[in-house]
Amino acid sequence: MHYTDHIIGKPMDRLECLFCARKYPLNVFEVFCPCCHEPMLISSTPRKRSIALDRSLSLEKYQSFLPLAHVDRTLSLGEGDTPLLLLDRVRRKHHLPPVYAKNETVNPTQSFKDRGTAVAVQKAVALGIKSIGTVSTGNMAGSTAAYGARAGLKTVVLLKEDMPSDKIRAAGIYGPILLKVRGDYGELFAASLDIGRKQGIYFMNSIDPLRIEGYKVIGYEIFQQLGGRVPRYLFVPVSSGGHLIGLLRAFLNLREEGLTADLPALVGVQAKGCSPVARAFAGGKARYSRFRQAETVAHAISNPAPPGGNLVLKLVRENSGMVMAVTDTEIVAAQRELAELEGIFADPASATVLAALIKFSRRQRLGLRDEVVLVITGSGLKSMDTVERLDISVRQTSLSRLEKTLRLIGV
């Protein structure tokens, strides 16, 4: 089966490996470069690109930057157009420059994954694909299942054997085929792509090139919401690496179009308990090595062998970025601070970015003009297990004593 992009005509988009610079026709079943085994990205033929703010869907506004000849509104769940919130109380507490949160929890399935799924599903339907799938332990399962349902596609979600049943149900509600697979999770990722190619199932996994195109839109929106400015620093959690790669590509695109001369410094953040990319970055290495005995509260980014890890290392080095790690203690404190000071309930994986900024600001003097954007990738509501361990006190009283109790507490 061959689904290549010429089926839907111009613009002609291709797959490109940034390591060997080879290009291939766009084919949704191919993810890794045949020679380098690194993830490939979409390379678009030069064309005039511009932002169309008068359109209603986020995908339509930035369509000319995406490999979509057409946006089918019936496939969209209204993803994107998420708020960029000034975190003034956090800023004052930690003596920071202006800090903003790009709140991706306000997406149809409460995570940034919807950005990528939206683009991948648009392409799948345009190419006449009938079956999609994903390998996931959490947010991606729900996102893929929701968009698959909306598009009327057969959707299969491959799960780790030990996945807790509440996480399964949050994806299962959309009616996908749920399949628990015994065996190594990394091998499952590779096997899914192989089987997908044979059986015509488009597995839109974490590092999928079309998914990464979707993540670019987060970057365009940040640029737009800052009034056409580029932040000095952009902090983002790193799991597979796809999200960081997409964000950086967005700003590279904007620079290519002459919309800005600057790039933000991308700061990728991992949890210390599973930080293969941060470790390699700190050690000055071009390639990471698999992380043994991963253990962190930040489940959503606990990826011991991120398929985009080497590409992240290459891109941050070429573009003055960095990758750092924060401890679980720092993560939990940052999660609580985001909620208590700013009213944002982030999952531990997203809270890493605030923890990293606080750490970073102690090492590096930040000036008033060093605007920072933190990408909050997923909602804490899907990781209630962490919250259960927090000390949240509940007082008791009776109706007749309520007035006195409130006076004593001093509300």
Q: Looking only at residues 172 through 191 of this chain, which bind its own copies when binding is defined by CB under 8 A?
A: 172-175, 177-184, 187-188, 191
CB hemisphere CA count around 92 (13 angstroms): 5
Handedness of CA 232, 237, 239, 242 (dihedral sign): negative
- Piece of 193-201, 213-221, 300-308, 351-359 that binds its own copies (CB under 8 A): 193-201
Give dist(CA 372, CA 386) in Å, integer. 27
In the three-class reduction of DSSP (H, G, I as helix; E, B as strand; rest coil), residue 54 is classed as coil
Q: Looking only at residues 344 through 373 of this chain, which bind its own copies when binding is defined by CB under 8 A?
A: 344-345
Q: Build a one-symbol-per-residue string for 106-145: x at contacts with its own copies by CB under 8 A, - elsewhere.
A: xxxxx--------------------x-x--------x--x
Asked if 156 is part of the footprint of its own copies (rule: CB under 8 A), the reply reads yes
Name the nearest CA neighbour of 44 among 76, 74, 60, 66.
Answer: 66
Decide whether 196 or 308 has the Cβ nearer to its own copies. Answer: 196
Asked if 52 is part of the footprint of its own copies (rule: CB under 8 A), the reply reads no
Give dist(CA 121, CA 142) in Å, integer. 14
Asked if 411 is part of the footprint of its own copies (rule: CB under 8 A), the reply reads yes
Which stretch of DSSP H or E encloses residue 124?
helix 113-126
Q: Which residue in 77, 259, 263, 305 binds its own copies (CB under 8 A)?
A: 77
Give dist(CA 316, CA 327) in Å, integer. 22
Q: Looking only at residues 259 through 288 of this chain, which bind its own copies when binding is defined by CB under 8 A?
A: none
Q: Which residue in 146, 218, 230, 375 binds its own copies (CB under 8 A)?
A: 146
Q: What is the DSSP string of 69-101?
A: S---GGG--------EEE-HHHHHHHT-S-EEE
Task: Name the minimum Å distance from CB 288 to its own copies.
Answer: 24
CA 347 to chain centre: 13
Strands 99-103, 372-376: pairing is parallel
Q: Which residue in 81, 279, 317, 322 binds its own copies (CB under 8 A)?
A: 81
Q: Which residue in 170, 244, 311, 351 binds its own copies (CB under 8 A)?
A: 170
Q: Looking only at residues 198 through 227 of this chain, which bind its own copies when binding is defined by CB under 8 A?
A: 198-199, 201, 225
Q: Looking only at residues 369 through 408 of this chain, which bind its own copies when binding is defined by CB under 8 A?
A: 379-382, 384, 387-388, 390, 392-400, 402-403, 405-407
Give dist(CA 60, CA 252) in Å, integer. 20
Task: Name the minimum Å distance from CB 87 to its own copies.
Answer: 9
- Using CB under 8 A as the binding criterion, the count of chain residues that bind its own copies stands at 93
Give dist(CA 207, CA 361) in Å, integer. 30
Task: Name the minimum Å distance from CB 88 to its own copies.
Answer: 5
Task: Name the minimum Å distance from CB 225 to its own copies.
Answer: 7
